Structure 1
């Protein structure tokens, strides 16, 4: 009769014990742990507190058994058989020391790759990425995720922060933009960005912080956050200007933080357009078009038929577009593309193979097409203004007032306007008129300082003179080392003389004033000279070199924006 094999104590964790146990001592309930008993062949194996003998027994007598792991590692025979013998070049390659210059250079490049391209830390564990680095530098040892998370990336952050603080210390004025957003994980964040002009007259931008905000997004909480960030980065004393969206909490935050507040013009355009898109006639039209475009995007048969109809009718082979609720210009693009492809859409919907799956879809009526054309036409200026604000490499606040005035003028009611056009113009005008009431004097002054708009053609004569007078008052409070005229002479900038008499008189008056006041700047004379001088704006390719630097970045802001 076979003796009973008892399972090993629960403290042992190795999988090898699935094949071994112990006999009980004679006349005792305790286990005889001097020898382990193989459950497969009932052979006694010497047990000395480890599983080496057990693994050897399994590998020699029972190699077909799956449990060949002892103490968390494979048996010696299995381990040796699983190892690939290194090649001769690999055998003689010595690994780079982490402290070596080459290794540190690669590690720094790896950290910047992760940060600048927003890659996850787990990229260092991807087989393809590891193979790429091995091909580039076989001697390099790729750091672990823990090293990147706890050591490398924090160190890089400290280095970049020191560089940003040093760069910010040279800025005279800064602009701060603030925006709140929600991640896919439903966590609320606030991102704060800083913009300023460097001593080399280059526009510099830095994302200072992206911080989790668990508190309510009230104006007081946002103001406290802004004050903390400005104190941390040393920009509180640089008269920062806050640029945000048109949310009321942002306006309250700017007031509590005592900051000059400018609302994002692109966001204001979005609000005005969204108000127009919510009109009953426009909303109904968008709903019908959206249902048709969605059907074509989901049906492979309908998409194929549409493609064939485009070829037959000689239309551009463009795909239909569906709007996104958060981007108003996508609704304009959807209508524009739909009107372009209307003949092909109508022919595709009337085809037999499409009608079987689209019994509830109907093409638009003649009135709907006319309404769509009117919506496209009246919203076109808003889309162009959005592109102007988005495409400019160095957008400035000086462009807001001209665009605002142009849009207000373009949305005036005309006698030939249709009913839907009138409704859209009234909605857009009503929304734009209530924007920038308090900021408009500042915006007009910035436009007067921009060579493109310095004549302020979008303002009436009395308003234009009021802006120039206020600009002269502001200039009189600023102590300048040299006048505008002297600056242009020093840079050897050419300008045209549309009115030689007034030009000469302005120069003489400015010269007499400087001599009488020991060459101190007289604001009225400088504004007068600025108004009568027509600057010959050259392209970047035509700009000369002034002091070894491209001219467009060394000219003072009163000359070129």
Structure 2
């Protein structure tokens, strides 16, 4: 069972002569089960065991968040995927796949809503869901309600069912061999529904957050679509790369001169273009082609270097915020500011791609500017001890953020949750470290010059004293996992740690469910397309929750 579930091996392996001979060699007395027996007995039993284990853990959870999306297989069967995330009593982020079930008919907001309610009720988390993370498709907005800023903005993004080739928004995902295509959904793109989007939304439904990576991808798309010069140059690079890949002589010369080859672009991943450009600039392409129309001039290389400098912050932010084993949401707002600051630096130092830069900055403000006024993102960033209030761009913003945190602390102090000290277990493995620190340092370099200290006004009440103590606490290294800090300091900061446990477990992106779809594509590969939906649902459920076996 382990090899079938963990390694995504077809159950008919038990009928293969080579596998049978191996088992016979290891244990001659063992009687091999049939494929039918494996599918109809052990697999369903394992599903029940894992499902009960997850339900038991969720029963003790006070708050959790979910990511949700729809995916289409090669046979165009639609599947609704839902993952659940929370911070455990040991201050580890726990993630489970709740379902990847077939959803028939039109993928409307109402049908998605009904399926969601059924799943959350089954796992007993209907009233525990804190945030729901989805992409910007109109059917998702209709199902879960818009964010506040979306009430005044016409939704201009297509509904998206992820096709068989889908994957994360970045190539740094765990499963990098599966591409991502977007197929249009079934919901009509009609902005009129936005004003009534809260109608029939259940009282206990978690607030919807837009996937940061998906929104960032739309920003990049806006920038690239607004520059004919860059589009033409990128097309030229694509032709050069295709020429090299289709010519054995050209490929041999490239590999001989550089010890590495070219990277082709992928139309479904914006950052594949960035990787293609970066690799071309690294290579010595002398003598690779005699076609003058494919040769790069020094002027074109300068434009491409500027292109790389502009989009590298977007790539870093996308990679960082797609993490699943550390707090990603606390980096969302600082990443937004970091991208803006880095892009403005290029704007001030380079005379190339100014039109792209202007469009990107406008799109960032339009699509992500609401985060500056969103108390959730502000508080989450402040509760990351590597940021605290350093991400604030001015004294006014610091004062407003302090008020947001204090208001949240008072609300928690008055609730039942705050009267109980967060429990801390000493057993279990350590919390995993965050992403490579070099990426964080580069993106968040705008905070290096921060010299501010705690405002003197933070005095008086228990809430204000605890917050001031936290801001003055220096017992934390820049590259340390925030959850490790809160695990050690939970008793010292009981009110803040309660809020941190609730907020820092929220994923900033819907990458967790995209990873599920990547594995789904590996299970339903071309030679397994006839796998029954029921059997597929069981296999992907066990694969993604293999830690509970």
- Shorter-chain TM range is 0.5 to 0.7
Q: Does 1:417 align with 2:350?
A: yes
1:531 and 2:478 matched: no
Secondary structure class of the residue paired with 1:302: helix
Structure 1 residue 394: deviation in Å? 0.9
Alpha-carbon separation, structure 1, partners of 2:420 and 2:61: 20
How far has the Cα of 1:237 moved from its partner? 1.4
Distance 1:483 1:176, change over 3 A: closer
Matches within 5 A, 1:336-415: 336-341=278-283, 344-350=284-290, 362-390=294-322, 393-412=325-344, 414-415=347-348
Count of matched residue positions in the alignment of Structure 1 and Structure 2: 405
Matches of 2:307 and 2:253, distance apart in 1: 28
* 1:328 pairs with one of 260, 265, 270: 270
Shift of 1:157: 0.6
1:221 and 1:401 map into 2 onto residues whose CA distance is 32
Partner of 1:288: 236
2:170 corresponds to 1:222: no
1:416 CA displacement: 4.5
Q: Distance in 1 between matches of 2:405 and 2:267?
A: 42
Q: Indicate yes or no: 2:411 matched with 1:477.
A: yes
Cα distance in 2 for residues equivalent to 1:442 and 1:430:
23
Aligned residue number for residue 214 of structure 2: 267
User: What is the alpha-carbon distance in structure 2 between the residues aligned to residue 185 and residue 427 of structure 1?
Assistant: 39
Question: What are the superposed Cα offsets for residues 199-253 of structure 1, whole Å, 9 maximum, x if unpaired?
Answer: 2222110011001122222222222221111111111111331112222322222
Aligned mates of 1:545, 1:391 — CA distance in 2 = 18
- Equivalent-residue separation in structure 2 for 1:553 and 1:373 (angstroms): 46
Higher RCO (C-alpha 8 Å, min separation 6): 2
Residue 344 of structure 2 aligns to a residue whose secondary structure is coil
Q: Using a 3 Å threshold, how does the CA distance of structure 1 residues 142 and 239 change in structure 2: closer, same or farther?
A: same
1:545: how far off? 13
Q: C-alpha offsets along residues 410-452 of structure 1, whole Å, 9 cap, x if unaligned?
A: 33384543242x1221222222212345553210111112211
2:18 paired residue number: 128
Trace 1:84-99 onto structure 2 (pairs within 5 A): none
Aligned CA-pair RMSD: 3.3
**Residues 500-554 of structure 1 deviation map (CA, whole Å, 9 limit, x = unaligned):** x989997xx66xx5xxxxxxxx32332233233333349879x9999xxx85999
Residues 261, 391 of structure 1: alpha-carbon distance in 2 compared, 3 angstrom cutoff: closer
Aligned residue in 2 for 1:277: 224
Distance (Å, rounded) in 1 between the aligned partners of 2:492 and 2:264: 46
Q: In the TM superposition, what is the alpha-carbon distance from 1:456 to its structure 2 partner? A: 3.8
When residues 391 and 317 of structure 1 are mapped into structure 2, their CA distance, relative to the original with a 3 A threshold, is farther
The answer to whether the Cα contact below 8 Å between 1:170 and 1:198 also exists between their aligned partners in 2 is: no
Structure 1 unmatched runs, 5+: 1-110, 311-315, 351-358, 488-498, 514-521
Aligned equivalents of 1:551, 1:143: Cα separation in 2: 49
| Alignment TM-score, normalising by the size of structure 1 | 0.65
Structure 1 CA distance, aligned partners of 2:344 and 2:488? 42
Q: Deviations over 1:166-208 (max 9, x none)?
A: 0111111101001222222222222110011122222110011
Verify the 8 A CA contact 2:466 2:493 in the aligned structure 1.
Answer: no
C-alpha deviation, 1:271, in angstroms: 1.8
Change (3 A) 1:298 1:555: farther
- Of 12, 32, 36 in structure 2, the residue corresponding to residue 146 of structure 1 is 36
Q: Which runs of 5+ in 2 are unaligned?
A: 146-200, 425-450, 505-549
CA distance in 1, matches of 2:292, 2:14: 52
The answer to whether the 8 A contact 1:503-1:532 is kept is no
Distance in 2 between the 1:300 and 1:383 partners? Answer: 32
Cα separation, 1, equivalents of 2:215 and 2:244: 33
For 1:33-48, what aligned pairs fall within 5 Å after superposition?
Answer: none
Distance in structure 2 (CA, Å) of the matches to 1:554 and 1:323: 50
Q: Deviations over 1:341-369 (max 9, x none)?
A: 2xx3241213xxxxxxxx68631233322
Q: Decide which moves more: 267-276 or 386-395.
A: 386-395
Q: Partners in 2 of 1:210 and 1:293 — Cα distance?
A: 38
3-state DSSP of counterpart to 2:467: helix
Q: Which one has a bigger Cα radius of gyration?
A: 1
TM-score w.r.t. structure 2 length?
A: 0.67
How far 1:333 moved relative to its partner? Answer: 0.8
1:173 aligned to 63, 69, 80, which one?
63
Q: Distance in 1 between matches of 2:484 and 2:99?
A: 38
Tell me: CA distance 1:197–1:544, structure 2 relative to 1, closer, same or farther (3 Å). Answer: closer
Question: Which stretch shifts more, 221-230 or 326-335?
Answer: 221-230
CA contact (8 A) 1:503 1:529 kept: no
Aligned positions of 1:178-217 closer than 5 A:
178-217=68-107
* Counterpart secondary structure, 2:8: coil
8 Å contact kept, 2:237–2:294: no
Distance in structure 2 (CA, Å) of the matches to 1:274 and 1:503: 41
Q: Distance between the aligned counterparts of 1:286 and 1:222, measured in 2?
A: 39
| Mapped contact 2:85–2:94 kept (Cα < 8 A) | yes
Q: 1:235 aligns with which of 122, 125, 132?
A: 125
Match of 1:162 in 2: 52
